[in-house]
Amino acid sequence: MADDFELDTDDLARRMDGAIANLRVELASLRTGRASGSMLEPIMVDAYGSPTPINQVGTVNVPEPRMVTINVWDKGLVNKVEKAIRDSGLGINPQMNGTIIMLPIPELNEERRRELTKVAGQYAESARVSIRNLRRDGMDQIKRAKDGMADDDQKFWESSVQDLTDAHIKKVDETLETKQAEIMQV
C-alpha cells in the first residue's frame, strides 16, 4: 500500500500559495500614505440586508495620489457607505458631495507608520501559521502512509514538504519586508 504512496505536493503548494495571496490582499488594505482603491476591499457595507463589498455598491477611483473617490450608485446607500468607512478603522474622514464620497489620504506620521508595520507583521505571522498548518497536514499524510514505506521514501517526502514550507515562508518574509519598506517610506 505505502510503496505506491504519492503525496500531492502540487495541492500543498497551491494551498500555500493561497495563504500568500491572502496575505497580499490583507497588506494591500493597509494604507501607506498613498491612495489605493484596494485599501477599501475589506470594508463591507450593509446593503439591501446583507454585507456587500464597497466596490459592488459604487465605483472606486483614485483621481489623485492622495484621494480616493467612491461614486455610490444608489443614493440611499451613501450614508451607509460613509458609516462603514468611518467604522473601518482606516483613520480616514470621508467627505460627501452628493453621491460621491471623497476620501482624502492624510500624510502618515512616524508613530502611525510604526503601528502599521506591526499590523503588517501580524498579517504575515498569520500567513506563516497557515503555511505551517499545511506543512503539518502534509507530514500527517506521510505518517499515516508510513507502514510499509521505506525509510528513504519517508525522508524524501518529509524533505519535500519541508522545502516547500521553507520556500513559502521565505516568500511571506519577502512580501512583509517590501510592505514595511513601503510603509516607512516618507
The reply to whether 137 and 176 lie within a common domain is yes
Which one of 104, 119, 147 terminates a domain? 104
pTM above 0.85, yes or no: no
pLDDT in tens, 66-77: 888 999 998 988
For residue 171, the domain's CATH number is: 1.10.132.20
Let me know whether 16 and 48 are in one domain: no
Do residues 42 and 19 both lie within one domain? no
Boundary residue ending a domain (64, 86, 104): 104
- pLDDT range class, residue 125, cuts 50, 70, 90: very high
pLDDT tens figures, 22-44: 998 888 777 666 777 777 887 88
| Residue 180 structural domain | 2-27+109-184
Structural domains counted in the chain:
2
Q: One-letter amino acid identity for 160? A: S
Mean pLDDT, range 1-16, rounded to an integer: 77
Domain boundary residue, one of 60, 80, 104: 104
Whether 97 and 118 map to the same domain: the answer is no
If asked whether residues 15 and 61 sit together in one domain, one would say: no
Which segment of 76-85, 109-118, 122-131 scores lowest on mean pLDDT? Answer: 109-118
**What DSSP letter does each residue of the chain carry, written as one string?**
-GGG----HHHHHHHHHHHHHHHHHHHHTS--SS--GGGGTT-EEEETTEEEEGGGTEEEEEEETTEEEEEESSGGGHHHHHHHHHHTTS----EEETTEEEEE-PPPPHHHHHHHHHHHHHHHHHHHHHHHHHHHHHHHHHHHT-TT--HHHHHHHHHHHHHHHHHHHHHHHHHHHHHHHHHH--
Q: What is the CATH number of the domain that holds 72?
A: 3.30.1360.40
What cell does 25 get? Answer: 490582499
With bands split at pLDDT 50, 70 and 90, how would you rate the model's confidence at 1? very low
pLDDT > 70: percent of the chain: 94
Interaxial angle between packed helices 151-184 and 9-28, expressed in degrees from 0 to 180 and rounded to the nearest 10: 10
Rounded-to-integer distance, Cα 149 and Cα 55, Å: 52
Q: What's the CA gap between 58 and 51, in Å, rounded?
A: 14
